[in-house]
Amino acid sequence: MLTEEDYKSGQVLLIDKPLQWTSFQVVNKLRWEIRQAYNIKKIKVGHAGTLDPLASGLLIICTGKMTKQIDTFQGQIKEYTGTITLGGSTPSFDLETEINETFPTDHITPELIQDTTAQFIGEIDQFPPVFSALKKEGKRLYEYARAGEAVEVKSRKVTITAFDITAINGNAIDFRVVCSKGTYIRSLANDFGKALQSGGHLSALRRTKIGDYEVQNALSIDDFIAQLPKE
């Protein structure tokens, strides 16, 4: 069992983030539980790479002095699995907002789906979603979007080293992606739909790896709390 000093000197915690939780909520919950367990007034806790509330999977949490290494973890290669649903797009590129445009899908074949993935391999220009936490002039992009204000979003270079289609069930396309820091899988889903001369949005997402860290070695929030000392 880890001691108070272990957490203060620095730990790397692998947490399997559940759906509907923000990454910030996970950090706050773990910080509170660690403080309660060891009767600590103050301890640094941070996460190394945001996961959207509608995504589950690997979240690296750093405590104490290891919070200085957060940038290192954030820069590592990430792996995701998920589902892109074709035939409709949403303003947020996922299920945070409702479908606002529908498109034909009759022309889309499994061969076309497989062939189209090649367009996204390597270094590509990607536009982040307007519903994102990126800042422009001191405000989060999603603040502009939710207020209905138009905002210009600049593209950025990202690298996708793998984009594998793992299953096709009607308009639901299961995938695995390996990508660089800063890649938005929601944007990939939206762009993939366009490349298929249709539309698409991200309907499920799970982060499975960050560098050499794997979600199969991560604890649920409840399991992490259960192994903390009790008074």
Q: Which residues are catalytic?
A: 52
The answer to whether the beta carbons of residues 82 and 215 sit under 8 Å apart is no
Q: What percent of the chain is helix, strand and coil (3-state, nearest 5)?
A: 30, 35, 35
Sequence-distant (6+) residues with CB within 8 A of 14 are 58, 59, 60, 61, 213, 215, 217, 218, 219
Rounded (10°) CA dihedral 79, 83, 221, 217: -40
Which residue has 């996204």 as its token pair?
120
- Phi, psi at residue 176, to the nearest 5°? -130, 130
